[in-house]
Amino acid sequence: MTHPAPTNLKMRVVEARSLNPLIRMLRLAAEDGSQLPGFTAGAHIRVQVRLQDGAQDWRHYSLINPLARADATDAPSEYVIAVRREDSGRGGSRFMHEGLQAGDSLLIEAPKNDFPVHAGGARAVLVAGGIGVTPLVSMAASRKAAGAPVRMHYAGRSRELMAFLPELQALLGDDLLLHTDEEAGAPLDIGKLLDGCGADDLLYVCGPKVMLDAVLAATQARGWTHDRVHFELFTEPVVEEGDHAFELVLAQSGQTYTVQAGQTILDCLIDHGCDPMYDCKRGECGVCATPVMEGEIDHRDYVLTAREKAEGNVMQICISRCKGKRLVLDI
């Protein structure tokens, strides 16, 4: 099994427009003009992309709604997404930037929400890093539509590269706190941000791995319980310095493959015609957990506990790797 039976929708690009040098916004409508399935704040769609090597793959983009209206996303006629160009990736974002123009057709999966915002009265504190702002725009709008307390901290390198600023300013007013590395001369101070939170505030974080790691470490250090911190990682698995190729042995089938330095174990298995279970491909959902028989695991996920990681009997093959030259999986 790969992804749990999604509903595919045939779409047409209504508009494709650069918001800044890095981010392109796309408006998509059903090819036959029909109404689209509704969605809730934090939902995403998966879009079929063509990679540089010609292979097809899926990429995950949050649905954006800046309208603070209770029914704004119940029966939309369009979906709006925004894509950051990643030149070091396998070509998915380049396809979204260069391979699609208004009028083109594309296939998507119906919206799914793995990152919902709560409906209660506790304040939602939204922490956005760069393109990670996209699900949080919809959350800000939905909280405002409900008359519920919300604050957003939005961090980026410079204002020029931060998408949806006018929409967020109109939506949030003083509840939008901007940080630019360029103006501050330093990254967002997560400790100060958390110190400004109330004891009942719930945190929603979406941004690059470095931001997410900093927030998780700082909330843990302050004793925040897990249920107060919600996150979505806004990156494809990245190649880290020192990543190397290794031998992958499948104990049950006896197959041996080479996982290349720029390839995940999951993609290696798929490329060889295997059918592993997966969903998020970002080490967040837990679906791709795979038992390990031999090899030193380089855990990079946000699912396994510290104890499970230390025991080394299971790994998330969509993102984690092998520190040594050989890894044996019990599949």
In angstroms, give the least distance from the CB of 79 to ligand FES: 23
In angstroms, give the least distance from the CB of 327 to ligand FES: 16
CA distance 72 to 179: 29
Nearer to ligand FES, 194 or 288 (CB): 288
And the tokens for 123? 């304040």
Nearer to ligand FES, 232 or 284 (CB): 284
Does 232 participate in binding ligand FES (rule CB under 6 A)?
A: no
Tell me which residue of 326, 328, 331, 302 sits closest to 316, measured CA to CA.
302
Nearer to ligand FES, 142 or 290 (CB): 290
Does 60 participate in binding ligand FES (rule CB under 6 A)?
A: no
In angstroms, give the least distance from the CB of 301 to ligand FES: 6
**Do the beta carbons of residue 316 and residue 254 sit within 8 Å?**
no
In angstroms, give the least distance from the CB of 289 to ligand FES: 7
Nearer to ligand FES, 172 or 297 (CB): 297
What separation in angstroms does the CA of 42 have from each of 73, 141, 142, 143, 231?
A: 11, 11, 10, 12, 10
Nearer to ligand FES, 280 or 314 (CB): 280
What separation in angstroms does the CA of 48 have from each of 10, 39, 121, 312?
A: 10, 19, 38, 34
Nearer to ligand FES, 61 or 164 (CB): 61
In angstroms, give the least distance from the CB of 311 to ligand FES: 18
Rule CB under 6 A: which of 127-166 touch ligand FES?
none
In angstroms, give the least distance from the CB of 58 to ligand FES: 12
- Which positions from 281 to 310 touch ligand FES by CB under 6 A, shown as an x/- string? x-xxxxxx------------x-x-------
- Which positions from 256 to 285 touch ligand FES by CB under 6 A, shown as an x/- string? ----------------------xxxx-xxx
CA distance 223 to 226: 9
In angstroms, give the least distance from the CB of 296 to ligand FES: 19
Nearer to ligand FES, 215 or 269 (CB): 269
Does 318 participate in binding ligand FES (rule CB under 6 A)?
A: yes
CA distance 187 to 193: 12
In angstroms, give the least distance from the CB of 286 to ligand FES: 5
Does 316 participate in binding ligand FES (rule CB under 6 A)?
A: yes
Strands in 314-316's sheet, in edge-to-edge order, are: 256-259, 246-250, 326-329, 289-294, 314-316
**Do the beta carbons of residue 309 and residue 300 sit within 8 Å?**
no
CA distance 64 to 171: 13
Residue 231 has phi, psi (to 5 degrees) of -150, 160
Nearer to ligand FES, 122 or 285 (CB): 285
How many chain residues touch ligand FES (CB under 6 A)?
14
**Do the beta carbons of residue 233 and residue 302 sit within 8 Å?**
yes
CA distance 144 to 302: 30
- What residue type is assigned to position 63 of the chain? L
List residues binding ligand FES (CB under 6 A).
278-281, 283-288, 301, 303, 316, 318
